[in-house]
Every structure is written in C-alpha cells, then in structure tokens.
C-alpha cells in the first residue's frame, strides 16, 4: 500500500482523519492534547487541509482559519476578520495560506499577521453567487495564484501575483472554465470548458509565461467529451503526473466512469481501468508509478481506495470499507 503522506493534501488529511477515528491516542483521550478528531466530535468544522510538510492542519471554524498540529496539540486561531473563508490553499513553502473571503482572494502568513487582500472583484453580471473570486491554487514556485471568478458573467480563470500587483485573465470573455490545475513546472494550466455544443465538457490546456503572468498562444484542446444526451455526466478535470508528461482523468466513454491517460500534447486518451463499476478521483503518486483512485468495484454501493500501476494493470484495494466511508464527499472535491 502506498503511503498517504506521499500523495496530496487531501489524501494526507484522509489518512490522518482515519487514524484518529480508529484509534485516538491515550493522551488525547485524557484531554492533555487536542486532535482533529476531538474537534470533529465536539463541533462542526469546514474545510481541512494539511501543510506541505505534513505538520499542521489548516481548517475553518466559526468563520476563521485555525491551525492545529497534526500530531495533536491546541489550535491557534490565525484570522479574526469578518465573513466566512473558503478554498484554503497552502503556499508551496508552507509559509502562507491563500483563501477566498468577501468576494476576493487573500493571503495570510502562517506565523500570524495581517491578511493581505490580493483581488477585489468589481460588481458584474451573471449569477451573483458565482461572481466572486474563489478557489485559489498556488503555482508550483509560489509566485502566482490561479483562481476562478464570475466577474465577466461567465466562470473565468485568472491569475494574481502573490504580491497582488498583477492580475490577468487566462480564459476568454465568453469561455465557461473551471477545474484549472497547474502543471508541475508551472508553465501550463489544464482546465475544463463547456458550451452548448459540448456541454459534457472539453479539456483545454493553456501555456503560461511566469514572468509576465500572461497566457501564451491560444488554448489547446486535449479532449472533447461526446455529448451525454441525458445530461447526467460531465468531465470533472484532470490531474498531472509529477513529471508533467501525462494527465489522468475520468471519462464515461464505456458507459461507466473509468480512468484514462492523456498527453498534454494531445492525442487519443488511453483507458487504463474497465469493468461494470465506477472509478473516480484519480491522483498520481509522487514518483508517478501508481495512481490512487476511488472505486465501488467488488462491493456494491461501497466506495474503497485502490491503487493501480500508472499505465494500467491490476488494481489493489488500499483501505478497508469502514475506513473509507465518507472520505469521498469530505475530501475529494469535484
């Protein structure tokens, strides 16, 4: 079984959440130290994400960002500003957190200090619930933050520099775009776009100039999904391999959700899972040799975590059902 610490912030949270659920340490039970499970059992919390070094949880509670040592300890409230906070994202060096609040993107030092507002979305058309700036994602080197905004009346992808001095649109004024993800080198972004002609979704790629903060050239189409006449299925984004040479996504070309590999240079997708079951939420291991995913294979109506060699092969279950129940909705965001 692959180590959760080697996968991603969400999977790190999953593993530690499972560990504290199954066996709370005696010092936590006695009240000497506070764990994430202690908090969950006493009061509801919002988003939870783990720092790059695995030592600190950031979570939202009562409208504020709270930090909690992952090995147990007392929480420290990092913010005190008004309005709720969402989209918590650690900077690559673990020194700052980006988040969305009051319709804008903010950052705050983890050691404490005044939050800094990076964007200020002007009032615009479209659905007011989607007109705000939201869902920040740091570039691999921490110089830029990718985010979504409805300030043009459609859902657009933009970047803002970490000092807030430069903001640029990456997608066109009429492009409905979402699920943007940086390449490991930070010079490209893969995202989902939709229109009436391809409402099940299209995967596009934008090349990005990290010096100017602008996209270079026109978007490249990697894959266009056949139209689902029932309207019940759509592309949910793609994840990069650590070397940036491949993407893994979920397609329903066989009638079931299964994993496919795509090249960022284009070409036909390669199907790597098959069968009468649903495979979702794939992510590469750090060495790029395996893919972890959620599947209901083997047990009807039960989701489990599986690993599979990155280019196909036998899938192996990574966690027993009782440990996985609820993790998909809690930790894997669409």
Question: What CATH number is given to the structural domain containing 141?
Answer: 2.120.10.30
Q: What is the pLDDT of residues 125-172, one digit of tens each?
A: 444 556 789 999 999 999 999 999 998 889 999 999 999 999 999 999
Domain closes at, from 213, 229, 245: 229
What is the Cα–Cα distance from 296 to 330, expressed in whole angstroms?
A: 17
> What's the structural domain count of the chain?
3
Does one domain contain both 78 and 125? no
Q: How many CB atoms sit inside 10 A of residue 91's CB?
A: 20
Q: What six digits make up the tokens of 202?
A: 């299209």
Is 51 part of any domain?
Answer: yes
Say yes or no: 220 and 264 in one domain.
no
Task: Report the helix count and the strand count for the chain, using DSSP H and E.
Answer: 5, 24
Domain boundary among 229, 261, 278: 229
Is residue 11 located within the same domain as residue 57? Answer: yes
- Is 113 within the bounds of a domain? no
Domain boundaries, position 327: 236-334
Residue 191 domain flag? yes
**How far is it, in rounded angstroms, from Cα 9 to Cα 98?**
14
* 122 and 103 assigned to the same domain: no
- With respect to residue 36, please indicate whether it lies within any of the assigned structural domains: yes
Residue 323 included in any domain: yes
Classify residue 134: in a domain, yes or no.
yes
End residue of a domain, out of 57, 76, 107 = 107
In tens, the pLDDT along 86-136 reads 999 999 999 999 999 999 999 999 999 999 999 987 654 444 556 789 999
Q: Report helix, strand and coil shares of the chain as percent, to nearest 5.
A: 10, 35, 50
Tokens for 293? 């995913």
pLDDT digits (tens, 9 = 90+) for 301-314: 678 899 999 999 99
What pTM was estimated for this model as a whole? 0.82
């Amino acid at each position: 079984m692959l180590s959760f610490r080697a996968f991603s912030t969400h999977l790190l949270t999953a593993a530690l959440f499972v560990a504290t659920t199954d066996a709370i340490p005696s010092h936590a039970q006695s009240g000497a130290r506070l764990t994430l499970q202690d908090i969950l059992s006493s009061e509801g919390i919002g988003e939870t994400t783990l720092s790059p070094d695995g030592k600190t949880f950031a979570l939202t509670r009562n409208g504020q960002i709270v930090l909690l040592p992952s090995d147990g300890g007392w929480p420290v409230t990092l913010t005190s500003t008004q309005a709720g906070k969402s989209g918590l994202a650690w900077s690559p060096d673990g020194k700052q957190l980006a988040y969305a609040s009051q319709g804008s993107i903010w950052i705050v030092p983890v050691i404490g200090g005044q939050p800094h507002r990076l964007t200020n979305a002007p009032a615009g058309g479209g659905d007011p619930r989607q007109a705000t700036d939201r869902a920040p994602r740091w570039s691999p080197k921490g110089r830029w933050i990718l985010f979504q905004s409805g300030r043009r009346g459609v859902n657009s992808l933009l970047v803002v520099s970490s000092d807030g001095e430069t903001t640029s649109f990456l997608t066109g004024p009429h492009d409905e775009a979402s699920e943007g993800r940086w390449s490991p080198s930070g010079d490209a972004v893969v995202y989902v776009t939709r229109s009436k002609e391809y409402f099940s979704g299209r995967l596009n790629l934008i090349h990005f100039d990290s010096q100017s903060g602008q996209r270079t050239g026109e978007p490249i189409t990697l894959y266009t999904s056949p139209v689902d006449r029932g309207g019940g299925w759509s592309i949910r984004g793609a994840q990069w391999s650590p070397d940036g040479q491949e993407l893994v996504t979920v397609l329903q070309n066989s009638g079931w959700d299964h994993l496919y590999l795509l090249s960022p240079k284009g070409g036909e997708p390669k199907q790597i899972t098959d069968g009468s079951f649903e495979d979702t939420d794939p992510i590469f291991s750090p060495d790029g040799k395996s893919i972890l995913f959620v599947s209901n294979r083997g047990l009807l109506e039960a989701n489990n975590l599986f690993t599979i060699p990155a280019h196909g092969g036998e899938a192996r279950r990574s966690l027993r059902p009782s440990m996985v129940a609820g993790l998909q909705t809690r930790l894997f965001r669409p």
